[in-house]
Structures are given as structure tokens and as C-alpha cells.
Amino acid sequence: MERNNKADNEFGVNMRIEIDNFDDYRKSCREFLEREIVPEHQAWEDNGLMARSFWEKLGQSGLLGISVSPEYGGLGKHDYRFAVILTEELIRAGVTVPGIVAHNDIIASYIFALGSGEQKQKWLPELCLGKRVAAIAMTEPSGGSNTADIKTVAKRQGDHYLVNGGKTYITNGINADLIVVAVKTEQGQQGQGISLLVIERDMAGFSRGEPMKKIGWNGSDTAELFFHDCKVPVTNLIGRENLGNYYFMSAMPRERLSISAVAVASAEHILQSTLAYVKERKAFDQPIGSFQYNRFILAQLDTEVKIARVYLDNAVEQFSKGLFSLVDAARIKWWTTELQMKVADRCLQLHGGAGYMRDSVAGKNWLNSRAQTIYGGTSEVLQEMISKSMGL
């Protein structure tokens, strides 16, 4: 399903972004976000939900399914720098990131990489156009980081599975039409017997809780999901049965790299806006940025953020070459998200009372930053993985 670059879409304008080179792509992303998304973003924040019409605008613009082949409606751009540019421009525009990143990563990491030809033809075109929204559901009320703790069970009965259990803290949980769900299909050793099933919106036995109220990223919906004798066709199995944990591990480097890209872009954005503030805001008749203590704090943050950018650029290069390991992903995700939280905290302090206001840039960034050290593997779990790789 090729997209038409020239034809006007259903919204009455040609919103197709140009991707001849990175600079043009960045410019097109920025213009699209400022024109189509920023004016409506506060409504998403207030409602805790991105409007469905804007998912379609994202799709029509070419911002969804960047690495998916044009055969299935994507752009066919496998260079991960395109995804990083999109993340940077979303952060710059102040747009809620997790839902969009999760949707794109699910398309690329699971369905396009692991799906059968029939599954790709069935799901990818509409996902790339934003007509359907994707989510991944692994975390459960009893645990999240350890897939061995999964209690949602799928029992095969002929040409379908019966799924029973529940998931929680699911990004895009309300909007999602198609959810990649981790289920237990076989009792095996730790981490074994996990499979990935695609559960669709209208399947009998599938229900959702009320939208969950978070302290940050409020424009991205989060929900609990429930499965009671949910009947799922065997044809909705992604990859092979009982290999789900292997698939998770294969996709994890991309997921953690995407979170790291959010972290670095956010830290840069927070620091930049804070520098502008401390040059204007005065105390005792001088800019607060001129006090030695504040200058030194900002000098330290500036240096660490620049180190993070070099680290991220190198990781993206290694990922593109297929040389980016699970441990590499754990290291950069841990380090950059902790740095993001540090930068957000120090910069909020420099804003004083103004930073503590919910609608301030500093306040929003501080709240949004807090989740980064939790999802995609907590900092504690990542340090366990890193230490084990060192033979400890």
C-alpha cells in the first residue's frame, strides 16, 4: 500500500513530509507539529487522551511507520536517525511522546520484524496511516520487569486461544485497536513459555478500565486491560509459540534506545530553556545565572548533557550496524534517564517558585522526566543486568 505524495488527504491539505535528507525531514517534522499538533495539545493534556483524528494526521504526514517498507504503507527508512529526529522535534514542540514512540516501536520491533506476510498485510497499512493505534501489554499488577512473573494465560483450543488475566500501566491502553500481549502458553523454566498474541479492540472477553491518572505525560493515555475467556485466533500469534521472551529480548535494545533518545532530547531542551530564564531573571539586582553556585551547576549540567549526546549518537550508530547489545541498551537507558531526572530537578530549582507551577515548562519537564527511570526497565533492574555482565 503506497502512500500518494501528491494527492491531498482527507483533511484537505497535503501533509506528506519530505525525507530526502535529515535536515529536510527535521524541518518538515517541525512545521507539521507546530501547525497541526501544538495548537491542540493542551486539550490532550486536559483529557488525558490524544484525539483519534490526530493519529490519522500523524499517519497521513508520514510520522508513523518510518522504518516499515512502502509495500505496507511505511516510509522504508531503516536509518534510526530518522526516529531520533522525530523524538527531538516532539520534545522541542512540547508534545507528549510515549504513545507515539510506543506505536512506532511496536510496528517496527514486532509486527514488521516478526509478523507473517498475511499479518503485515492485515495490520501494517492501517497502523502506518494512524487508522489503528498500537500498544504493547507486558506489565501486570503482580510484576513488570520479570517476564517469568507473567500470570496472564492463553490456552489453545483448536483454532483459537482462550486468554485470561490482566495487564496494567499500558501506554495507549484506551486508544489502542491492536495490542501485542505477552501471555503464558506453557509452564516452563524461568522466562520460558511466553508467547505474543495480538488482541484486537472488539474481541469478546476483552475490556479496559478507566483511564489511569498519571503525574506526567498527561497527553498519553494509560489503562488497565482485562481478559476473561477472550477468544483470540491462532492466526494472531506473533512469531512462534513459547518464544515470546526471546522476542522481547530482541526488541529491547530498540525500546531502550528510544527512551534514551527521549532522555537526551529532554535534557537538552530543559537546559536550553533554563539558560534563557537565568539570564533574564534577577535577584539582588543581578541575573540569577551570574551567581557562582548557579554558574557552576549549569556548567556541570551542560558538560554532562553534551557527553550524553555523544553517547547517544554512538549508540544509534552501533544500533544501525547491528552491534548494540542488551547490556549496551541497559547502560545507556540507565545513565541518560537518570541524567534527565537530574537536569530536570536542578533546573526546576533554578526557576524557584515559577518552576513549581504545573503549567511551567520546568514543572512539566520535571513531572514527565520521572517516569523515564521506571518504564522500559527500572534503573535498579538495569544496574543488576549491567553488574551481571561484569561477572558480579
Convert the pLDDT of each residue in 44-89 to its tens digit.
888 888 888 889 999 988 889 999 999 999 988 889 999 999 999 9
Which amino acid type is present at position 6?
Answer: K
- Among the ranges given (17-21, 181-185, 281-285), the one the predictor scored with the smallest mean pLDDT: 17-21
pLDDT band at 19 (very low <50, low <70, confident <90, very high): low
Q: How far apart are CA 242 and CA 130, in angstroms?
A: 30
pLDDT of 187 reads 74
Q: Do 71 and 148 sit in the same domain of this protein?
A: no
Tell me if 217 sits within 8 A of 366, measured CB to CB.
no
Q: How far apart are CA 245 and CA 304, in angstroms?
A: 35
pLDDT tens digits, one per residue of 193-241: 999 999 999 999 999 999 999 999 999 999 999 999 999 999 999 999 9
The DSSP code sequence of 231-292 is EEEGGGEESSTTBHHHHHHHHHHHHHHHHHHHHHHHHHHHHHHHHHHHHH-EETTEEGGGSH
Residue 147 scores a pLDDT above 90: no
Tell me if 223 sits within 8 A of 174, measured CB to CB.
yes
Catalytic residue among 140, 224, 255, 268: 255
In a domain, 107, yes or no: yes
Provide the whole-model pTM. Answer: 0.91
pLDDT of 77 reads 87
As for how many domains the chain has, the answer is 3
Among the three residues 223, 242, 261, which one is the final residue of a domain in this structure?
A: 242
Main-chain phi, psi angles of 191, to 5 degrees = 80, -5
Q: Do 37 and 111 sit in the same domain of this protein?
A: yes
Residue 177 scores a pLDDT above 70: yes
pLDDT of 122 reads 96
CATH number at residue 222: 2.40.110.10
pLDDT band at 145 (very low <50, low <70, confident <90, very high): low
State the cell numbers at 79: 536509518
Q: How far apart are CA 159 and CA 264, in angstroms?
A: 46
Among the three residues 208, 242, 276, which one is the final residue of a domain in this structure?
A: 242
Q: How far apart are CA 303 and CA 289, in angstroms?
A: 16
Q: Is 255 a catalytic residue?
A: yes
CATH number at residue 317: 1.20.140.10
pLDDT tens digits, one per residue of 239-250: 999 999 899 889
pLDDT of 181 reads 96
Domain hosting residue 309, numbered range: 245-390
Residue 8 scores a pLDDT above 70: no
The more confident residue out of 176 and 25 is 176
State the cell numbers at 208: 479496559
Q: Do 48 and 143 sit in the same domain of this protein?
A: no
Residue 1 scores a pLDDT above 50: no
- Among the ranges given (2-11, 149-158, 190-199), the one the predictor scored with the smallest mean pLDDT: 2-11
Q: Do 199 and 290 sit in the same domain of this protein?
A: no
Which amino acid type is present at position 235?
Answer: T
pLDDT of 190 reads 56
Q: How many residues does the chain have?
A: 392
Tell me if 160 sits within 8 A of 234, measured CB to CB.
yes
pLDDT of 21 reads 84
pLDDT tens digits, one per residue of 313-324: 999 999 999 999
Among the three residues 80, 106, 133, which one is the final residue of a domain in this structure?
A: 133
Which amino acid type is present at position 113?
Answer: A
**Exposed, middle or buried: residue 332 (CB in 10 Å: 0-12, 13-18, 19+)?**
buried
pLDDT tens digits, one per residue of 80-121: 999 999 999 999 999 989 999 999 999 988 999 999 999 999
Q: Do 48 and 85 sit in the same domain of this protein?
A: yes
Residue 370 scores a pLDDT above 80: yes
pLDDT of 10 reads 40
DSSP state of 214: P
If you average pLDDT over every residue of the chain, what do you get?
Answer: 90
pLDDT of 7 reads 35
pLDDT band at 14 (very low <50, low <70, confident <90, very high): very low
Q: Do 47 and 127 sit in the same domain of this protein?
A: yes
In a domain, 16, yes or no: no
